[in-house]
Structure 1
Amino acid sequence: MSTDAAPPHLVDRLLRAIGRVEPRIRAVTELSRLTGGASQETWKLRVAGVERLDEVLILRRVPNDVMIVDQIGPEAEAAAIRRATAADVPVPHIRLELTPADELGRGFISDFVAGETLPQKIQRDPAFAPARSRFARQCGEILARIHAVPTDGLDLLPTLSAASQVDNLRRVYAGRNRPNPVWELGFAWLEARIDRIAQRRVLVHGDFRMGNLMIAPDGIAAVLDWELAHIGDPVEDLGYLTVNSWRFGAIDLPVGGVGVLDDLLDAYHAAGGVAVTRDEVHFWRALGTMKWGILSGELARAIGFSAVTLERAVIGRRSTESELDLLDIIEGIEP
């Protein structure tokens, strides 16, 4: 691996930016792009320097010519990660935040955390058996820490109640101008129960699930992808973790396809989390299922600057799977 595939200016600008906090670094020896989203980019880089310095770092950035849609932005993401770090949540340590003078766009550079994010490998590889055995309980413990993070000063994060999320999702759905009886039933089911949902306000990760957790053989090494963080109800994270799409085929194990709900909730409560009922989890699981189902359908369409790709089209077709999942939740036959 080398830096040959990177934009010609990126290596020089990265080296200059990193030098602000680590003057021992003398070269970027490897640089590769890990993911390609509509807005944010993630790059893995290896740096070398004096005193045999050799480190691997991660760059997350939004290029200057890209606008952000439905995300909080890297400044708010970094603020949430720093606050989580102080609360002993396993997250990548942020080394620096980009400034306009760096000419790299908006974003930050963090430590690289080794591990695996591919759900199917985590579910099946014997090497991850210890991690699987404690996954649900560890998720509960980590979420309790996240939800206990003080929210004062996190002014960049939006506040999203259950009602506001249902309203926002309905607007997205209405904008498609494609009536769907399953989604209509789902909105009616949610709206009939929304008054019974608590209006707590804590730090919510917003996308806590298998695929956004770096897993080592002995357990969760880091919580990644904080771009949907917000202030809201803590049960949102618990419910979203159990959405069927994030079980990756192991539908009888609600927690990431490797654990059971009782272990998750027991560990969450034991670690200081609020008392949670299954009805609350089911409500947020239904809302999470609808969000993923409706929004994944949007991935098959060109939205603003984003081009339709084969990957987006394939994800878009999976919207119908979420419809079936929602019907199971409403009928009460979903574990």
Structure 2
Amino acid sequence: MEQENDLGPRLARAFDRRFGVGHAVERLERLSAGASRESYIFEVLAPKGGRQSLILKRDPPGAVHDEDDPDNRFGADRPAEAAIVAAAHAAGAHAPAMIFCADDDDGLGAAFVMEALEGETLPQKILRDPALAGARARLPAEMGAALARLHAVPRRELPRLRTFRLDDHLAAFRAILDGYGQPQPGFEYGLRWLEKHRPPDEPPVFAHGDFRMGNIIVDTQGLAGILDWEVGHLGDRHVDLAWPSVRAWRFGRDDRPFAGVGPRETFFEAYEAAGGAPIDPEIVRYWEVLGTLRWGVMCMTIGQRFTSGREASVEKAVIGRRVAETELDFLDLIDAL
């Protein structure tokens, strides 16, 4: 079994191969966030002096691609994710700078190294820390502008990505529900509602896929970074426009429907002002319903990992218990439309 204390020397050798002999890696620490990928923060010391904080992101050794997770059906592998992050950084979309993507000779597995951005990532602190009150007020507009720049990234700057349209989302949910083995009447009703009321397709753009509170970095000035690009794909822009407003990602601040920090309208206006195509709020609300179903199906499949004995994780069990809560959110949304 791979030992984590071997990572430091392997990382140092990977830097030596690319940037010259004499690098050292210190303060290597695994980050707690991220259940399906491993993330480590560390400092690299250059041969001629200088120190930089960086992030290693990689697939766990022996990782198995789980098609029961709806996000895995259109997500990117680590080399593609590295190329996505580099393209988004070049577009000014608050992505970290990419340092390198690992190859087989590095012995790091499917991995890449990027800069570590400073700031707060925990939603509870972002939404409640008095020191971040000014930043919270700026977030809806800053996130709208950043998303418009992200959606404008030219395809020629991106790696080969999967295209995942609305019908692909609906088909994925149908396949997962049909294969679950237990009735989920609320989700079944909601899926039929989504199939009946689907809006017209739009030309696909580059979509982050998981653009929400919990995947951003905030400092006292506002938005400092966007994280977790592994479900980047080509698809409908509304997947990103609606996902931050799904109730789960407000973290208890239902009085502020956009990401727990403000009104949707401020976010929409900033998106359009930064060059994003005009927004129809009713279409966004449809995708918010779809996003709530997506989160519910994710809770269901994550919980099944625990109940099946595949993963003895309290975190998985707790998330699995949220299925009924999400089912109610889903039905309440439909009832309000």
TM-score (norm 2): 0.92
1:113-152 C-alpha deviation (Å, 9 max, x unpaired): 0111111111111111111111111111011001001113
1:302 aligns with 2:305: yes
The answer for the alignment partner of 2:192 in structure 1 is 188
Change (3 A) 1:133 1:33: same
Change (3 A) 1:115 1:306: farther
Whole-angstrom CA distance in 2 between matches of 1:106 and 1:24: 23
Whole-angstrom CA distance in 2 between matches of 1:37 and 1:301: 18
* Preserved CA contact (<8 Å) 2:96 2:117: yes
SS at match of 1:299: helix
Change (3 A) 1:25 1:189: farther
1:265-292 C-alpha deviation (Å, 9 max, x unpaired): 1111111111111111111111111011
* Partner AA of 2:89 in structure 1: T
* Partner AA of 1:134 in structure 2: R
Change (3 A) 1:122 1:36: closer
The answer for the alignment partner of 1:146 in structure 2 is 150
Whole-angstrom CA distance in 2 between matches of 1:293 and 1:182: 10
Q: Which runs of 5+ in 2 are unaligned?
A: 67-71
* Preserved CA contact (<8 Å) 1:117 1:212: yes
1:283-333 C-alpha deviation (Å, 9 max, x unpaired): 111111101111112112228995130011001111222112111211127
Change (3 A) 1:30 1:273: same
1:158-213 C-alpha deviation (Å, 9 max, x unpaired): 1011111011011111111211221112111100111x233221000000000000
Whole-angstrom CA distance in 2 between matches of 1:206 and 1:313: 24
Whole-angstrom CA distance in 1 between matches of 2:21 and 2:219: 29
TM-score (norm 1): 0.93
Whole-angstrom CA distance in 1 between matches of 2:61 and 2:310: 15
Q: Which runs of 5+ in 1 are unaligned?
A: 1-5
Change (3 A) 1:272 1:32: same
1:22 aligns with 2:25: no
* Partner AA of 1:192 in structure 2: K
1:245 aligns with 2:242: no
Whole-angstrom CA distance in 2 between matches of 1:307 and 1:38: 11
Q: Note the aligned Cα RMSD (angstroms).
A: 2.0
* Preserved CA contact (<8 Å) 1:61 1:107: yes
* Preserved CA contact (<8 Å) 1:28 1:45: yes
* Preserved CA contact (<8 Å) 1:25 1:47: no
Whole-angstrom CA distance in 2 between matches of 1:253 and 1:316: 26
The answer for the alignment partner of 1:176 in structure 2 is 180
Matched length = 328
Q: Which moved more, 1:292-301 or 1:229-238?
A: 292-301
- Mapping of 1:274-293 within 5 angstroms? 274-293=277-296
Q: Which moved more, 1:19-28 or 1:218-227?
A: 19-28
Whole-angstrom CA distance in 2 between matches of 1:294 and 1:169: 7
The answer for the alignment partner of 2:222 in structure 1 is 219
The answer for the alignment partner of 1:3 in structure 2 is none
1:132 to 119, 131, 136: 136
* Preserved CA contact (<8 Å) 2:8 2:26: no
* Greater percentage in helix: 2
* Preserved CA contact (<8 Å) 1:39 1:67: no
Q: Which moved more, 1:49-58 or 1:217-226?
A: 49-58
Change (3 A) 1:37 1:112: closer
Change (3 A) 1:315 1:289: same
